[in-house]
Amino acid sequence: MLVRYFASLREQLGCDSEQINSSATTVEQLISELSQRGELWQQLLADNSRLQIAVNQAIARRNSPLQPEDEVAFFPPVTGG
């Protein structure tokens, strides 16, 4: 599974993408797995109710299903002005 991090998430986590082996079958399960990496991961992914998610470049929800070959992207909400 390819996981991508955008904008402030990329900056705070220190990486823009990574290829991982995951047994997650939903986005929520993937977030739970990644959150086990530490408090910062927990705060930015699991505890962030405004987190935006895309699976294979389509907007997704936490209960969206995942396949091992999927691309999952996480990004903070975008604001304009």
**What's 68's domain CATH number?**
3.10.20.30
Average the pLDDT over 45-65 and give the result: 96
Domain range enclosing 64: 2-75
Q: Does 80 fall in a domain?
A: no
Q: Does 81 fall in a domain?
A: no
pLDDT of residue 80: 57
Average the pLDDT over 50-67 and give the result: 97
Q: Does 59 fall in a domain?
A: yes
**Residue 80 is which amino acid?**
G
Q: Does 6 fall in a domain?
A: yes
Q: Does 66 fall in a domain?
A: yes
For residue 54, give the DSSP letter: E
Neighbouring-strand partners of residue 73: 4, 54
- Whether the predicted pLDDT of 79 surpasses 80: no
- How far apart, in whole angstroms, are the C-alpha atoms of residue 57 and residue 75? 12
Number of domains in the chain: 1
- Predicted TM-score (pTM) of the model is 0.93
Polymer length of the chain: 81
